[in-house]
Amino acid sequence: MSSIKVGIAGAGSMAPYHYDGFTRAGAEVIAVADMDISRAEAFGKGRGIKRFYKDLSSMLAGSPELDAVSVITPNKFHKALVVEALENGRHVYCEKPPALNAAEAQAMLDAAKKSGKTLMFNFNNRARPESGAMKRYIDEGRVGKINSAQAFWIRRTGVPRFGGWFTTKALSGGGALIDLPHMLDLALHFMDFPEPDYLLGTTYNDFMNNRAFKGQFGIPGPTESTGDVETSCHAMVTFKTGQSLMIRSSWAEMVEREMVSVTFQGQKAGGKVERLFGIDGRDETSIDSCRLFAEEYGNQVDLVIKTEKDESMGRIGNAMNFIDALAGRAKPLNTPEQALILMKIIDALYESASTGKPVKIA
């Protein structure tokens, strides 16, 4: 069997992880497209890539043997590029978040079904060793039904690139909530993606124009720049199964330190997966604390689950899973149906914050 041939659309900071995952799984990356051709060429240098294009359309036309495409662009362009690739008969691996909103996610799902091709997203935290270990305990019945969960990604200082596309709603779709969907996605993954029912949420944009809150995320943008997205959000979701989920995400919020975790309470046991950070907020360990909380023989028992360190934080593993799924060696770690549920929750939170009222999720 010949290797799966992949083209990368967007030579940004996530491209090396996509490339490493694809190639480690036995695929061949043969082309790169980027509006800045020089950036595409710089990425290809030393990686044996010799074909460079200014956009996806040119890459699809110029490299008809492509089996799959990865999309690494600002959020605004995800839907159009994913649908174009699917309609041209290619499998697609797309960066997070899936789209700007649920309507776009639905269009992507419809295109995937019509084409019969695989569509996956870079929800890399599902591929972290700690998350995989916890999911096995859940799947094997150790936890029982998860009644409630809390999904947190809270930064004290971490507004990314003031004035760039991250802080411009027309390009990003929103701020901290849509930029940091990983713990929300991981909580839903642990809960087996129940159908959401109602949501009540709020957003805040404090510190949006304060450059002191840029943290470790690059040089501030222009003095006069766009910053029309939220810096934090808080919400409660209820599900038709009777389960519930608390959401808290922020780029800038007055807290002790950056906190990233999913905690859940099951009928047999509870659990927590938490990112460990150094004093300055940097992820120095690349490993999570992973624990189960149970009762055995009348005693309260804490089980510490130890796993290997993953410097890529699941990014390489998730990309490998995409290729393994195409080759029939594994099941996809995520699906477009799950992405649609995630985007419906995100849409509902923005709507609830805007109206000040609970939102029924259709």
CATH of the domain at 81: 3.40.50.720
* Rounded distance between C-alpha atoms, residue 243 and residue 264, angstroms: 11
Detail the DSSP E strand segments found in 192-298: 196-204, 232-239, 244-250, 259-266, 270-275, 288-296
The confidence score (pLDDT) of residue 208 equals: 83
Q: Is 298 inside any structural domain?
A: yes
Same structural domain, 109 and 206: no
pLDDT digits (tens, 9 = 90+) for 109-166: 999 999 999 999 999 999 999 999 999 999 999 999 999 999 999 988 888 877 688 8
Does 177 map to a domain?
Answer: yes
Residues 118 and 133 in one domain: no
- Residue 175 exposed, middle or buried by CB count within 10 Å (0-12, 13-18, 19+): buried
Q: Is residue 285 part of a domain?
A: yes
If asked whether residues 69 and 165 sit together in one domain, one would say: no
Quote the pLDDT of residue 2. Answer: 72
CB 319 within 8 A of CB 25: yes
Q: Is the pLDDT of residue 222 over 90?
A: no
pLDDT class of 300 with cuts at 50, 70, 90: very high
Does residue 94 sit in the same domain as residue 147? Answer: no
Q: Three-class SS of residue 168?
A: coil
d(CA 25, CA 308): 19
In which band, very low, low, confident or very high, does the pLDDT at 311 lie, cut at 50, 70 and 90?
Answer: confident
Range of the domain at 137: 126-310+342-360
The residues that bridge with 304 in the sheet, in sequence order, are 291
Check whether 284 has a pLDDT greater than 60.
no
**Same structural domain for residues 228 and 148?**
yes
Q: What is the structure's pLDDT at 280?
A: 47
Q: What is the C-alpha to C-alpha distance for residues 311 and 144, in angstroms, rounded to an integer?
A: 31
Same domain, 228 and 324: no
Distance CA 348, CA 4 (A): 38
CATH label of the domain that carries residue 297 = 3.30.360.10
Question: Half-sphere exposure of residue 319, counting CA atoms within 13 Å on the CB side?
Answer: 31
- Which pLDDT value is given to residue 165? 82
Let me know how long the chain is. 362
State residue 286's pLDDT score: 56
Give the span between the Cα atoms of 253 and 234, in whole angstroms: 12
Q: Say if residue 225's pLDDT is above 70.
A: no
Q: Would you say 117 and 241 are in contact if contact means Cβ atoms under 8 Å apart? A: no
The whole-number average pLDDT for the span 254-279 is: 87
User: Do 347 and 201 belong together in one domain?
Assistant: yes
Pairing type for strands 244-250 and 299-304 reads unpaired
Element (H, E) at 91: strand 91-94
Inside any domain, residue 232: yes
Same domain? 157 vs 84: no
pLDDT at 224 over 60: no
Residue 81 lies in a domain: yes
pLDDT tens digits, 318-361: 999 999 999 999 999 999 999 999 999 999 999 999 999 999 99
Calculate the dihedral angle through the C-alpha atoms of 23, 59, 118, 194, rounding to the nearest 10 degrees: 100
Nearest partner of 41 among 90, 71, 8, 72, judged by Cα: 8
Pairing of strands 91-94, 146-154: unpaired
Check whether residue 160 and residue 293 sit in a common domain. yes
For residue 282, the model assigns a pLDDT of 53
Q: Cα separation of 125 and 185, whole Å?
A: 9
Q: Within this chain, do residues 197 and 303 fall inside the same structural domain, yes or no? A: yes
- Distance, CA of 305 to CA of 262 (rounded, Å): 15
Rg of the chain (C-alpha set):
20
How far lies 280's CA from each of 83, 189, 277, in Å? 41, 30, 8
The DSSP letter of residue 306 is P
Residue 337 covered by a domain: no
Res 268 pLDDT > 50: yes
pLDDT band at 223 (very low <50, low <70, confident <90, very high): low
Could you read off the pLDDT of 90-100 as tens digits, one per residue? Answer: 999 999 999 99
Assess whether 328 and 180 both reside in one domain. Answer: no
What digits encode the pLDDT tens for the residues 42-80?
999 989 999 999 999 999 999 999 999 999 999 999 999
> What pLDDT digit, counting tens, does each position of 165-189 carry?
888 888 889 999 999 999 999 999 9
Q: Using CA atoms, how far apart are residues 134 and 67, in angstroms rounded to an integer?
A: 33
Judged by phi (left if over 0) then psi (alpha if -120 to 50, else beta), residue 291 lies in beta
Q: Are residues 100 and 119 in the same domain?
A: yes
Total count of domains within the chain:
2
Cβ atoms within 10 Å, residue 360: 9
Q: What is the mean pLDDT of the chain?
A: 92
